[in-house]
Amino acid sequence: MAKIITVSCKHCGSPTKVKASGEPAKCVWCKREASSQMRNLGHSDRCEKCGSNVGDNFCPRCTGSCDHQENRKSFAVTKEAVEFQQKSKLIGPYISWGQFNRDIIDFSDSLKGKGYDAVIGVPRSGLVVASQMSIRMGLPLYSISEYGPIYLGGGLRVRDRFDLSDHKKALLVEDSTATGFSMREAVEWMDEAMRTWNVRKAAVYATGSQTKKIDEYHRKLELPHWFEWNLLWNKMVMEGLNVCVDFDGILCPDFTTEQDDDGWRYIEAMKSAKSLATEGTHIHGIVTARLEKYRPWTEDWLRKHGITFNYLIMGKWETKDERSTQCIGSYKAKKATELGAKLFVESCPLQAKVIRSKSNIAVLCPKLGGSIAK
């Protein structure tokens, strides 16, 4: 009887069993032919629960965290498996403003009845959470600086209910905590106040490691995760990953069928479109199916809204009808690859899936709720 050995699949890096003779077998995950030839290029953490590469407690096939150390083991992997692991670190959920607001409401409601009598927001995003929480829970609102807590008010009703000179149990809140740096700094700023206040640390979202270091959290959210309110403003992400983005639906709202007439209505809609990005945003590459003939209006709009870029790639077709015969997703995948992108932000779910299937680029699609695997 031939000896059975476990090897890495040359396509997806998952472990699968083959005969020692080298006779091919099917990978249990991607169903393609596995390779019995392994090149020992180092070791990687692998989830025993599902067989996938895991890094920083993130397992893409478990769709979330893999925080049990007993489920991890050291495993010699192929070059393809190493590349898969690197790309998988970009696969994670996308949190929209709408989802953020719903989570704040749910978090606030879960904290009622716990005796909190003030909410302190860590600038900037933490103030969004603190402001909504103070309204939802009927508590005084504070910000914080290096000089300590700053009273922002609470309205007449709150002012009559609380003695602002001495809070018995205050909530120090962030939108998220991944490394704990911002929270540690905030605690240092609260040092004097904490001599008389009982300050509890909280975040709407926290990584597994941080859930043990704060007192309250709403949802465990491992890295990577993508937030609508800071994705395009995150310089480290935008420059480090050579991020390329779609235009319509990401930088501005999608146009209606009436507006998209390939004529004067389209031009007027382009000129008056509101910006979904923050002024001062810099993007490595904008890859859009907008026709090249509309470049002057497109560049004017970008200048008007303070958005800069290294590359603006536009459609080579003459008309909208000619464009409709092409596979836009394939076109974007090709152009983004040429620009060295490691992440593409695409508004259209169908095009997002095509870009992912036609390239080695991770794709983030807000309408799909996160970045997607191939």
pLDDT tens, 6-44? 555 444 444 455 555 555 555 444 445 544 333 222 333
Helix (H) or strand (E) holding 229, with range, is none
Residues 28 and 116 in one domain: no
How far apart are the C-alpha atoms of 198 and 81, rounded to whole Å? 49
Peptide bond before residue 124 is cis, with ω within 30 degrees of 0: yes
pLDDT band at residue 297 under the 50/70/90 scheme = very high
Q: Are strands 370-372 and 362-365 parallel, antiparallel or unpaired?
A: antiparallel
Q: What is the pLDDT of residue 344?
A: 95
Alpha-carbon distances of 160 from 1, 166, 257, 355, rounded to whole Å? 84, 14, 54, 58
Residues 39 and 113 in one domain: no
CATH code, 261: 3.40.50
Mean of the pLDDT values across residues 293-307? Answer: 96
Kindly tell me if the per-residue pLDDT of 60 is higher than 80.
Answer: no
Kindly tell me if the per-residue pLDDT of 57 is higher than 50.
Answer: no
Query: What range defines the domain where residue 59 resides?
Result: 4-88
Choose the weakest-confidence range: 106-120, 185-199, 254-268. 185-199
Name the domain boundary from 168, 203, 226.
226
- Could you give the percent of the chain with pLDDT greater than 70? 71
CATH code, 160: 3.40.50.2020
Residues 339 and 218 in one domain: no
Residues 315 and 248 in one domain: yes
Kindly tell me if the per-residue pLDDT of 286 is higher than 90.
Answer: yes
Output phi, psi for 83, to 5 deg: -65, -40
Choose the weakest-confidence range: 50-54, 98-102, 221-225, 320-324. 50-54
| 43 compared with 208, residue with greater pLDDT | 208
Q: What is the pLDDT of residue 187?
A: 86
Residues 155 and 183 in one domain: yes
pTM: 0.68
Q: What is the pLDDT of residue 163?
A: 52
Tell which residue, 367, 353, 347, 315, has the closest CA to residue 244. Answer: 347
Kindly tell me if the per-residue pLDDT of 252 is higher than 70.
Answer: yes
Choose the weakest-confidence range: 13-27, 148-162, 208-222, 271-285. 13-27
The two tokens of residue 9 are: 């699949």
How far apart are the C-alpha atoms of 147 and 132, rounded to whole Å? 24
Helix (H) or strand (E) holding 26, with range, is none
147, 176 in Cβ contact below 8 A? no
| 4 compared with 285, residue with greater pLDDT | 285
Residues 75 and 142 in one domain: no
119, 130 in Cβ contact below 8 A? yes
Mean of the pLDDT values across residues 158-165? Answer: 52
pLDDT, tens only, 178-197: 888 888 888 888 887 777 78
Residues in the chain: 374
- Structurally, the chain folds into a number of domains equal to 3
| 306 compared with 223, residue with greater pLDDT | 306
317, 333 in Cβ contact below 8 A? no
Residues 100 and 73 in one domain: no
pLDDT, tens only, 227-240: 888 888 777 788 88
| 256 compared with 8, residue with greater pLDDT | 256
Residues 219 and 236 in one domain: no
Kindly tell me if the per-residue pLDDT of 54 is higher than 50.
Answer: no
Residues 173 and 129 in one domain: yes
8-state DSSP, 41: -
Mean of the pLDDT values across residues 79-104? Answer: 69
- Could you give the percent of the chain with pLDDT greater than 90? 49
Mean of the pLDDT values across residues 302-309? Answer: 96
Tell which residue, 283, 288, 298, has the closest CA to residue 335. Answer: 288
Tell which residue, 187, 70, 169, 31, has the closest CA to residue 122. Answer: 187
Q: What is the pLDDT of residue 283?
A: 94
Name the domain boundary from 71, 88, 105.
88
Round the average pLDDT of the chain to a whole number and report it: 78
Q: What is the pLDDT of residue 45?
A: 41
Q: Where are the beta strands (DSSP E) in the chain?
A: 4-8, 15-19, 43-47, 58-59, 64-65, 72-76, 94-95, 118-121, 141-145, 148-153, 170-177, 199-206, 216-220, 226-227, 244-245, 282-291, 308-315, 343-345, 362-365, 370-372
Residues 197 and 246 in one domain: no
Name the domain boundary from 88, 113, 139.
88
- ∠ CA(314), CA(244), CA(358), 5° rounding? 85
Q: What is the pLDDT of residue 5?
A: 53
Q: Which amino acid makes up residue 25?
A: A
Residues 79 and 135 in one domain: no
Residues 235 and 362 in one domain: yes
Choose the weakest-confidence range: 103-107, 115-119, 183-187. 183-187
Q: What is the pLDDT of residue 69?
A: 36
239, 340 in Cβ contact below 8 A? no
